[in-house]
Structure formats: structure tokens, C-alpha cells
Structure 1
Amino acid sequence: MVDIVPEITKESIINLAVNDKREDGRELDEYRDISIETDVISKAEGSARVKIGDTQVIVGIKPQIGAPFPDTPDLGVLMTNCEMLPMADPTFEPGPPSEDSIELARVVDRGIRESELVDLDKLCVEEGKHVWMLFIDLHIIDNCGNLFDACELAVMAALKSTKLPSASIADDEVVLDHENTIDLPINNEVAMCTFVKIGDKLILDPTLNEEKVASARLNVGVTKDGNICAMQKGGISPLTKEDIFYCVDKAVSKTKELVEYL
């Protein structure tokens, strides 16, 4: 199902952008109100709900013991999955993951993985045999634009709240002590900043309508130290070198604000 933006709405958004204005009165480089709540799922070892404006996502972290990958026998495993529920947006359809769902999960996963946010070395219980596997589940509750940044913040918050049972080896079996837990070993903090191009203007934290009329998108993942760890280009139009440099510089400065919410 494709959601078509009325031509009058499209023209209005473009005309506002040309004059450095937006429908909701924000500056072009301004985020909507952000709120983060952790431990929102009692059955998950880590969880968080993030709202950016009216966009709302929930993330749950479920760890379990499993076998490591053959080429990384001493490292834990991260697996990210995204569920786009039809109740969150009329264009979301039930069934196998859509291209948008897969892209969202992969971009968020890349930011977490390439920032080395989780200390995977410390998730090894017995090299070559037993490691912690972290299943990260993204659930879109209300899509009002900019799911990338909301999901990245939610994953970051959920991972920081995650507790692992104490694990030991007895008779070549893993024994878990759920009464004694440890914090998930965290190395870093990361945030994603999403920009869209409308006309010749670059807009941060787009609403759903702004996303629909945009000709290009750029996601920039940045660590709290200012290092770029992930980028993704979307949309049909190209971006100039100046466009990319602007987005990167703005993302570095905005990341400092975003990690403060954590």
C-alpha cells in the first residue's frame, strides 16, 4: 500500500522549506521533543520506549546462550530484527519483513555494531562453545517520521538497561544464576541523525509528510566521541559533497545533545 501525499500538502511543505520554515514551526536543524523510558517490558532483560514527537518505538533485548560464529569463537553475537505493525501506519502490511523494515534493522544494527557499543569480548562464556547472543527486537508503535533516530536511541537505552544472569561452566554445561545479574558490558554511546532533502534544503528529524516529499535521505551514526560509525543514503536524488559535509558536521554536534537523554 502506497500512501500518496496530496499535491497541495507537498507544495506547502516545499515552499516552507525554501523559506527555512516547517509545518510544526521548528528550525530546519531542530529535533521534536524527545522522551526515553527504560524497563518497560517486564519479561525482557532490557527494554526502552522512545518518543520523538509523536513517533513511538519500543525495543526489547532478549539474551540467550548459544554457539559463536566459527570465525569469531570468542565474541558474543548481536541480532537485530524489526517489526513494523500495521497499527503503526496504514502502509505497513502483515507478513514477511518489507524492504523498509529490513533497511531500518540493518542501519540501526550497523550503528550499534560499528560503534563497538557492546563489549562482545566479555560476552564469551567458553571460547568456541558458549557465548551470549543478544536478540534486539524493534517494534514500531506509531510512525510519525524518523524511525531511524528513534530506534537507534531506543536500542542504546535498552542495551544500557540490560542485565545478564551470572554464567558459569559445570560438567561442560552452562549454569545460569538468575539471582545474581551483571550489567551488559557497554563500551560507548551512539546516536543516529537523519536528514532529508526537500528542494535544496536539508532538514533534520523529518516528520512523516516531510519524508514523503523528500528527494533524498542521509542517516549519519556518530559516537559520543564524535566518530562516524554508520551512514546510509536513501531516496532517488543525489547529494552533493557540501550536503554530506553539512549533515556530518550537524550530526556530530547533535549527537552530543541526543546522548544526554540517555
Structure 2
Amino acid sequence: MSITPFNVPIVPKLKRDTILSLAKRGTRIDKRRLDQYRPIKITLGVGGKAHGSALVEIGNTKVLAGVKVEVGKPFKDVPDAGVLNVNAELLPLASSEFEPGPPDENAIELARVIDRALREPGVIDLKELVLIPGEKVLVVWLDVYVLDHDGNLFDASMLASMAALLDTRYPEYVVREDGSVEVDEANKRPLPIANKVVSVTLNVLENLFMVDPTLEEEVVADGKIVFAFDERGRLVGLQKSGPAWLDLDKSTTAFNLAYSKYKELLEVLEKSLAER
């Protein structure tokens, strides 16, 4: 688990008091329960030039993920495995808080959380992407773009990333006897997906936890915690932001709540694939 700075704009105390008062009664400004997600929509194949893509909408939050596969070199310490590169960009059009320029710590954090959640449980069987061991492998570029920020970027980005990887169909690469690689555009192959992962984000407000926080709720929170689960129900990633203190009892409560919700996200993902 890593802890990163939690930077939010100054907000009136009245707004925090209102959100906290409602939360203590088990409800929220938008009438949801504390354990309830906003409507989730996944649209596959939205990027015409990408090998795979997905647009995820959780309420008013919108995230686009795209995948490109190309030939490259393996890392020296793992010559017998393909490469996964994850990048995230917080587009200025998504929020007045986002500025143009190089990725800031928030974009870097988002990319790293996604990368770890995909890499640790072996979502992609990278050994299946080797063309010539130690020389040529397939490189999977996963780019995440936040288009509209209304809270809970982690869950939206994780869903978009997983959906885009599952949507990917890339040309077959054929290794010739002379070591050259030929691209066969006529034949398309899916990525060797060995596992599926989703994340569940909880807002922390005093002793209460809120699933799928809106931006308004995130701004007044004491912190947030992101749990990533694979399809077997294993915890494969954990990220905490903000100063909120979590003792063993609160951590257990948070885990149990997140665990109770991950299957709901997997079902939405599976439904989008079935409708593709």
C-alpha cells in the first residue's frame, strides 16, 4: 500500500456538514445509499485507430482507454516476456483543476495504481507476447484519458482499462527464418487475457465509508481508499490517499464493503462484452 498527497480545493464547512449529516442517516445528496454506485455504462470499440478501446461512464465521470500493440524490445531483466506500458492523462477539458503539460502526481498515481492492479495478478499473460526471446516482443500500450471528472476516477479508469484490453484485436505478427517480423493485417488476435480486475473506491468521512464518491463528496472527504480485486476475489491492489486514519476495525469494515461490491462491477464488464 502507498500513501500519496491528497490535494483538494478549499470548500465551505457547511457543505461538509451537510454531506456528513446525510451520510450519518445512510443517504447522500444524490439520494444514493452509502454502498450504491451511480449508473455505469461501458461502450467498446470507440477508438477507430486503436486496437482496442472503451469509454466508461460512472454518473457524469467519463474515462476513455485505448490500446495499441506493436513490436518492441523486452526489458533486460525479463527477456522472455512482453511489455505492458500504462499512461494516464487528466485532460484540461475534464476539470478546471487539470492543467496542460506533463503528467502531474495525480496522473502518475492513477497510472501506477492501474499498472500494479493489472501486473500483479497477471491480467495479461506477457510470456505469450514473445516473438524472439531477448530481442523482440509485443509491447502493449494502454493509454487512459479522463474526459470528464465528477469523482471516482480510479474505478472508471480501471473499468475502461480492463474493457479496452478485452476489446483488443491486433494483427498477427509472424517471425520469418531470417529473424524479421511480418505483420499479417488479415488475421486479428485477442490479447492473452488470463485474469480480470476491477477496483472499488471508498470515500472516508470520519467513521463512514461511501462507495463511488462524486467529486463533491471527494472534496470534503478525510481521504479515500481503493481496493482492486481479481475475478477470483483476491485482493490484488490497495491505495490510500489523504490523512484519514484507519485502524484495524475501520480497515476491516472498508475491506468488507469493497469486497461486497466488486462482483457488481465484474457483472457490468461481462455484460458489455456479451453485447459487443
Q: TM-score range by the shorter chain?
A: over 0.9
1:241 to 230, 248, 254: 248
Distance in 2 (CA, whole Å) between partners of 1:158 and 1:217 is 26
Distance in 1 (CA, whole Å) between partners of 2:257 and 2:14 is 30
Q: Is the 8 A contact 1:68 1:131 kept in 2?
A: yes
Q: Quote the RMSD (CA, aligned, Å).
A: 1.2
* Structure 1 counterpart of 2:99: 93
Distance in 2 (CA, whole Å) between partners of 1:166 and 1:42 is 18
Residue 12 of structure 1 aligns to a residue whose secondary structure is helix
Residue 261 of structure 1 aligns to a residue whose secondary structure is helix
* Structure 1 counterpart of 2:4: none
User: Greater CA deviation, 4-13 or 42-51?
Assistant: 4-13
Residue 80 of structure 2 aligns to a residue whose secondary structure is coil
* Structure 1 counterpart of 2:274: none
- State the shift of 1:14 in Å: 1.6
* Structure 2 counterpart of 1:76: 82
Q: Percent same amino acid at aligned positions?
A: 43
| Structure 1: runs of 5+ lacking an equivalent | none
| Matching of residue 205 in structure 1 with residue 196 in structure 2 | no
* Structure 2 counterpart of 1:19: 25
* Structure 2 counterpart of 1:175: 182
- State the shift of 1:178 in Å: 1.1
| Matching of residue 53 in structure 1 with residue 62 in structure 2 | no
Residue 113 of structure 2 aligns to a residue whose secondary structure is helix
Residue 260 of structure 2 aligns to a residue whose secondary structure is helix
- State the shift of 1:206 in Å: 0.5
Q: Is the 8 A contact 1:216 1:239 kept in 2?
A: no
- State the shift of 1:79 in Å: 0.7
> Deviations for 1:8-45, whole angstroms, at most 9, x for unmatched residues?
22221121122222111111111110000100001000
| Structure 2: runs of 5+ lacking an equivalent | 1-6, 270-276
> Deviations for 1:203-223, whole angstroms, at most 9, x for unmatched residues?
111000111111121100001
* Structure 2 counterpart of 1:231: 238
Tell me the TM-score normalised to structure 2 length.
0.92
User: Greater CA deviation, 27-36 or 245-254?
Assistant: 245-254
Map residues 1-262 of structure 1 onto 2, 5 A cutoff.
3-170=9-176, 171-262=178-269
Count residues in correspondence: 262
Q: Is the 8 A contact 2:202 2:258 kept in 1?
A: no
Distance in 1 (CA, whole Å) between partners of 2:255 and 2:68 is 33
Q: Is the 8 A contact 1:18 1:200 kept in 2?
A: no
Instruction: Return closer, same or farther for 1:2/1:196 CA change in 2, 3 Å cut-off.
Output: closer
Distance in 2 (CA, whole Å) between partners of 1:198 and 1:31 is 17
- State the shift of 1:2 in Å: 5.9
Distance in 2 (CA, whole Å) between partners of 1:187 and 1:132 is 16
User: Greater CA deviation, 194-203 or 147-156?
Assistant: 194-203
Residue 155 of structure 2 aligns to a residue whose secondary structure is helix
Counterpart amino acid of 1:206? P
Residue 31 of structure 2 aligns to a residue whose secondary structure is coil
Counterpart amino acid of 2:121? S
Q: Is the 8 A contact 2:207 2:250 kept in 1?
A: no
User: Greater CA deviation, 235-244 or 42-51?
Assistant: 235-244
Distance in 2 (CA, whole Å) between partners of 1:148 and 1:73 is 31
Q: Is the 8 A contact 2:202 2:224 kept in 1?
A: yes
Tell me the TM-score normalised to structure 1 length.
0.97
